[in-house]
Structure 1
Amino acid sequence: MNPKQFLTAAFVLAACVYGGAAMPDSFEDSLLLNGRWAKADSCLCASAPAVSVSFRANAKEVSFDIEGEARFRLDTDGKPGEYFTILGRTVQKVALAKDGREHLYRLVKVSESNPGKICLHGIALGKGGSFGKRPEPSRRRIEFIGDSFTVGYGVEANGPEDGTPFEKTNTAKAYSFLLADGFKADYQINAVSGRGLVRNYANIVPEWTLASLYEYTVPGSIEQEAGGADQGPKTAGIRWDFEQFHPQVVVVFVGINDFQGEPPYADAVQFKRAYAALLDKLRSLHPGVKFLLVSTKTWPNDALTPVVEEIYKDQVAAGHADLLYRLVYTENTALHGHPSEMSQKMLANDLRPLVARLGGWLSR
């Protein structure tokens, strides 16, 4: 194998490994990562929707050594490309452009891992292929904190019972990814379906609300944290290092699961306290960050919006001028009553000028 044909994730914080020989260039000189990634047992592991790996290469094919269960899309020069599905550890080969030129590739995990993970063990190019210079990070950085609406849960379904969440979820078609991609921004989509800020839908796994999951790079389970489960590379319990990514804009779209479905719902006072604490935490972690607070109608009694509106008014009254608020409406005709592809596009279009205003991003 040509020494430039193989890139392993084993030295994520140290050196690239080409054909078994350590090279002096750092890992960052080859791959651009978006989303939360962790090094564990000589691989790169992630859980969040839409985590991605970007690289430049001149090659006729590429193979990804991936472990886990997830759907992926490989984009070329910013254009959506081929989808493939991984079930277990697989070396997935994908044909590339055969024009003899270098292209920018991006591997995106479009499905959700709730609460599982995927591990990238390596990337190999075909005969004669070579990696190019690492893609440059964007000067724009955006984070999304949310639930299934932000994940793009079931977005590809043609009706409420069309398929399964694994088959029909595609975060690359969610408003969050569409906004980040449209602004050509580096991003994190820290969202988990069915979870609320203080109360999950139907009170499922009450110990793992968004507030608790948010602290981790790869959320695991109580058993994993206690060391009682053996599920591959040990990532549970690894907390996210917030110094790794400083967003300029954070879109907060939380609370649907706190106030929707069967009662009892979240306590409004507790929710408001937790919401304000999250904003204060983010201000402390990322000085100068701006916020877009988003709310929508919840079933059956539309209990979320009045609470978020109060939070926004309280923030303004307290002297905070770093946030905007938006009430949005969606057409929930996709899987299990979630926004359709068209609705996600409309949602992105609705929020785009507000994000641009907050970030000072007047052009793409």
Structure 2
Amino acid sequence: MKRIVKKFFLAKMGLAAILVVCFVSAALGADKVRFFAADHPQFQYMGRVVVKSGEATYNWPGVTVSVEFSGRSLGIRLDGGERNYFNVWVDDYPIEVVHAVNDTVWWFPRRLSRGKHHLRLVKRTEADMGTATFYGLYLGAKEQLIQPAPLPDRKLLFIGNSITCGYGTEGKDRSECFKPFTENCEKSYATIIARAFDAQYHLISHSGLGMVRNYGDQEKRSEKRKPMPARLEYLLDNDSTKKYDLNDYQPDAIVINLGTNDFSTQPFPDETDFVEAGKALLYRLLVTYPGVKIFCITGPMTDEPAFTYTKRTVHEVRGETNSGGLVFVGVPLQLMNPETDLGADSHPSYRGQLKTAGMILPVMGTVLHWDFLMDEILPVIQSH
């Protein structure tokens, strides 16, 4: 069925807010629409979000807005800028990839059935694609927002780079140059694992950043642009002035996948610097989240010396803390078939991400004593 997106491109706030109401009222009739602002208590947010003055602002990948609502009409008002893209799910069905360049109202492309429905709006792109503002929803004049079911009890935190962001997962092959619409964090190994465990997730991930050295840096240690560990407490990525209270989200397990960018180009960081930075991050996480299980991943876009250095990091912290909750998982380069498993800029495609998740998931399940589903992953594994 052909889908139609109705968009109203506006200037800034103030007059823009009035214009939105006017346009919507003109389209539907003034007595047929009702607006629910982003600070309404029924909205449920997963991820790091600033909710203030009726708006929700965020830029980390994977931030999700969820709500249930009644009625047959649905309009989503948001602003994502030129490079952000959003996945819209209604009743667990993928409806549209929305590109809200300016202050935009996106309308569900047909009449919904009567009764209750569930909306999930997911920011599929990372912070370098821009900051998003969710303003709220338009429903029929007599309709209501309904509190959605609680988020899953299990909680995961992922700290990573472009692989965790889902960079290039929707590229047609490895020769395609990256474009923002090829990035989809919902096809990252991280979100695949979260779905398999039926867990909440936060993605603290940013393309090009490393443990101690970022991609393409001319120095062994990146100083001008801080590597990934410095962003652990950022409420909004790329903004060091706003801090996130790490106590607001207590993960059961943390997955760290850093090191690819450190060793992607010369000069490589010194082993001591890499290990000490990794140990500092692990100690910080262990102090902040006592008893948490931490899985340090290397791969699938790098090999040595990242494997050896990361294993040394884990081994030393385990010995110094007498903790069995630290685990190394290596995902080898050879797991990726260059012809079938790579997307834009030779990053793992969705298929490659599924294979990556398939190596990590059983290890996590064993350590955490968690059951998990393999439905999403099995078709790829069984095809070999």
What's the TM-score bracket when you normalise by the shorter of the two chains?
0.7 to 0.9
Q: Is the 8 A contact 2:174 2:343 kept in 1?
A: yes
Whole-angstrom CA distance in 1 between matches of 2:244 and 2:32: 33
Query: Is 1:304 matched with 2:306?
Result: yes
1:205/1:248 Cα in 2 relative to 1: closer, same or farther (>3 Å)?
A: same
The one-letter code sitting in structure 1 at the alignment partner of 2:195 is D
Q: Is the 8 A contact 1:144 1:189 kept in 2?
A: yes
Q: Which runs of no fewer than 5 residues in structure 1 stay unpaired?
A: 17-26, 222-235
Whole-angstrom CA distance in 2 between matches of 1:108 and 1:5: 23
Aligned to 1:211, the other structure's residue is in SS state: helix
State the match for 1:67 in structure 2. Answer: 79
1:92/1:208 Cα in 2 relative to 1: closer, same or farther (>3 Å)?
A: farther
Q: Is the 8 A contact 1:171 1:177 kept in 2?
A: yes
Query: Is 1:238 matched with 2:242?
Result: yes
The one-letter code sitting in structure 1 at the alignment partner of 2:74 is V
In the TM superposition, what is the alpha-carbon distance from 1:77 to its structure 2 partner? 3.3
Tell me which of 334, 341, 345 is aligned to 2:354: 345
Tell me the TM-score normalized by structure 2. Answer: 0.80
Map of 1:82-97 to 2, 5 A cutoff? 82-95=96-109
Aligned to 1:345, the other structure's residue is in SS state: helix
Whichever of the two has the greater Rg, that structure is: 2
Q: Is the 8 A contact 2:300 2:356 kept in 1?
A: no
Tell me which of 197, 209, 216 is aligned to 2:227: 209
Query: Is 1:6 matched with 2:35?
Result: yes
1:119/1:129 Cα in 2 relative to 1: closer, same or farther (>3 Å)?
A: same
Map of 1:186-335 to 2, 5 A cutoff? 186-203=200-217, 206-220=224-238, 237-261=241-265, 263-296=266-299, 302-318=304-320, 319-329=322-332, 330-331=335-336, 333-335=342-344
Query: Is 1:157 matched with 2:171?
Result: yes
The number of residues matched between the two structures is: 331
The one-letter code sitting in structure 2 at the alignment partner of 1:328 is V
In the TM superposition, what is the alpha-carbon distance from 1:171 to its structure 2 partner? 0.6
The one-letter code sitting in structure 2 at the alignment partner of 1:48 is W
- For each residue in 1:136-156, what CA deviation from the matched residue of structure 2 results, as whole angstroms up to 9, or x when unmatched? 121100011100111110111
1:312/1:3 Cα in 2 relative to 1: closer, same or farther (>3 Å)?
A: farther
Q: Is the 8 A contact 2:197 2:371 kept in 1?
A: no
Whose strand proportion is higher, 1 or 2? Answer: 1
In the TM superposition, what is the alpha-carbon distance from 1:2 to its structure 2 partner? 7.9
Q: Is the 8 A contact 2:46 2:65 kept in 1?
A: yes
Tell me the TM-score normalized by structure 1. Answer: 0.84
Structural RMSD (CA): 2.3
In the TM superposition, what is the alpha-carbon distance from 1:349 to its structure 2 partner? 1.8
In the TM superposition, what is the alpha-carbon distance from 1:130 to its structure 2 partner? 2.0
In the TM superposition, what is the alpha-carbon distance from 1:326 to its structure 2 partner? 0.9
- For each residue in 1:226-278, what CA deviation from the matched residue of structure 2 results, as whole angstroms up to 9, or x when unmatched? xxxxxxxxxx61111112101001011111101112x1122221111111111
Tell me which of 193, 196, 202 is aligned to 1:179: 193
Question: Identical aligned pairs, as a percentage?
Answer: 24
Aligned to 1:201, the other structure's residue is in SS state: coil
Q: Is the 8 A contact 2:60 2:204 kept in 1?
A: yes
Whole-angstrom CA distance in 2 between matches of 1:96 and 1:184: 30
Map of 1:48-127 to 2, 5 A cutoff? 48-69=60-81, 70-95=84-109, 98-114=112-128, 116-127=130-141
Q: Is the 8 A contact 2:196 2:372 kept in 1?
A: no
